[in-house]
């Protein structure tokens, strides 16, 4: 359904762009905006259609008004592209970036919140918080953390790249000032589709990456001022939403956790495998990262791919390294069993 909608829109727009793209498809994006805003729990006028999480959140991180010496709080585990944006802003404008080092695996939710609050300074104005840490799959207690930070006068920007379509939480219910996500990851929409959700009262105060007319300062669509772009990927969002609703967010998350636990169970108590993701409570969804003490995880990942066609993500971070394993709905229990068997064979070499 998604691919068909994308292909049909793509071919139509190529044949006669001034009519099919500009007059027909661009107006249809308002229907897409309304549908995805409802799914995320935001008002239509709080949702911009962007190409990915990076574009969504760079708009906010670079466009938020900050004076020299004012501070942004993040962690050493946040996505590197967003950290690059903060570093550039620090170099150009003199803001200060504070990076909190969180334990791996994460401790309890209360301890996580305490770590963040201990790092807040009088000059802290913004906090960048991951909904799901891309390195480990760890879910942060974003709702409680956002509430705690806002009592300190700190606005919260949530990196929801691995949240929407994966977890059963509603983005708007997290309480953050801004939320960004990519729709190709867990919703199954075409590549090049994402959302920037920004509270209505914040829209006017954030400068867009690409300049827009002054009269659009309070319009969420100012973050879409890219010139001519392909509407076809965005027209594939609606059927992806339909499928997600049909499956059900809670049922999807339960299935993903079942697949995760299926392969992890095979290594329960195995000293060769160390879990870097806290699973208890709502600590993780589909994603789990394991360390392999004494082994080069890059060689193991290469062996899995070359010998058995199994793809896992290698995580090499200054603080830890491991294999990130991410099953999806298209995977079966038998495939999880096969993966566990192949990994065990590689570890026995």
Confidence (pLDDT) at 18: 87
Tell me how far apart the alpha carbons of residues 89 and 185 are, in angstroms, rounded to a whole number: 28
Give which of 110, 111, 112, 105 is closest to 127, Cα–Cα.
112
Give CA 293 to chain center in angstroms. 28
Give which of 88, 87, 117, 122 is closest to 100, Cα–Cα.
117
Confidence (pLDDT) at 3: 86
- For 7, 9, 28, the CA distances from 4, given in Å and listed in that order, are 5, 8, 16
Beta-ladder partners of 124: 71
Per-residue pLDDT of the chain (349 residues; tens, 9 = 90+): 888 888 888 888 888 888 888 889 889 999 999 999 999 999 999 999 999 999 999 999 999 999 999 999 999 999 999 999 999 999 999 999 999 999 999 999 999 999 999 999 999 999 999 999 999 999 999 999 999 999 999 999 999 999 999 999 999 999 999 999 999 999 999 999 999 999 999 999 999 999 999 999 999 999 999 888 999 999 999 999 999 999 999 999 999 999 999 999 999 999 999 999 999 989 999 999 999 999 999 999 999 999 899 999 999 999 999 999 999 999 999 999 999 999 999 998 7
Fold of the domain spanning 2-243: 3.40.640
Show the tokens assigned to 299.
């060689």
The residue count of the chain comes to: 349
Confidence (pLDDT) at 189: 96
| Residue 298 and residue 346 in contact, taking contact as beta carbons nearer than 8 Å | no
The CATH architecture one would assign to domain 249-347 is Alpha-Beta Complex (3.90)
Show the tokens assigned to 271.
């000293």
Tell me how far apart the alpha carbons of residues 95 and 93 are, in angstroms, rounded to a whole number: 6
Confidence (pLDDT) at 217: 95
Domain ranges of the chain: 2-243, 249-347
3-state secondary structure of 269: coil
């Amino acid at each position: 359904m998604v691919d068909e909608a994308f292909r049909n829109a793509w071919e139509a727009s190529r044949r006669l762009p001034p009519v099919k793209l500009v007059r027909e498809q661009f107006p249809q994006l308002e229907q897409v905006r309304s549908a995805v805003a409802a799914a995320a729990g935001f008002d239509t006028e709080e949702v911009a259609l962007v190409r990915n999480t990076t574009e969504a959140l760079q708009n906010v991180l670079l466009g938020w008004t900050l004076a020299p010496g004012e501070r942004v709080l993040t962690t050493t585990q946040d996505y590197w592209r967003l950290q690059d944006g903060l570093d550039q802003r620090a170099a150009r404008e003199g803001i200060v970036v504070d990076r909190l080092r969180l334990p791996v695996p994460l401790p309890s939710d209360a301890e996580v919140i305490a770590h963040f609050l201990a790092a807040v300074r009088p000059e802290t104005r913004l906090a960048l918080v991951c909904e799901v840490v891309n390195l480990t799959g760890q879910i942060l207690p974003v709702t409680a953390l956002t509430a705690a930070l806002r009592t300190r006068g700190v606005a919260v920007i949530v990196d929801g790249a691995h949240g929407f379509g994966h977890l059963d939480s509603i983005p708007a219910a997290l309480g953050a000032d801004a939320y960004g996500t990519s729709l190709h990851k867990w919703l199954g929409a075409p590549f090049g589709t994402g959302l920037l959700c920004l509270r209505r009262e914040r829209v006017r105060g954030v400068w867009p990456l690409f300049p827009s007319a002054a009269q659009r300062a309070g319009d969420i669509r100012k973050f879409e001022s890219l010139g001519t772009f392909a509407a076809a990927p965005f027209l594939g969002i609606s059927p992806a939403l339909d499928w997600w609703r049909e499956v059900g967010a809670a049922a999807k998350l339960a299935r993903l956790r079942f697949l995760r636990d299926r392969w992890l169970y095979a290594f329960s108590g195995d000293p060769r495998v160390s879990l870097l993701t806290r699973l208890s409570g709502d600590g993780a969804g589909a994603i789990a990262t394991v360390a392999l003490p004494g082994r080069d995880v890059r060689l193991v990942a290469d062996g899995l791919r070359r010998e058995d066609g199994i793809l896992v993500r290698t995580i090499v971070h200054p603080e830890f390294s491991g294999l990130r394993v991410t099953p999806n709905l298209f995977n079966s229990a038998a495939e999880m069993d096969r993966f566990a068997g192949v990994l065990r064979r590689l570890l026995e070499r």
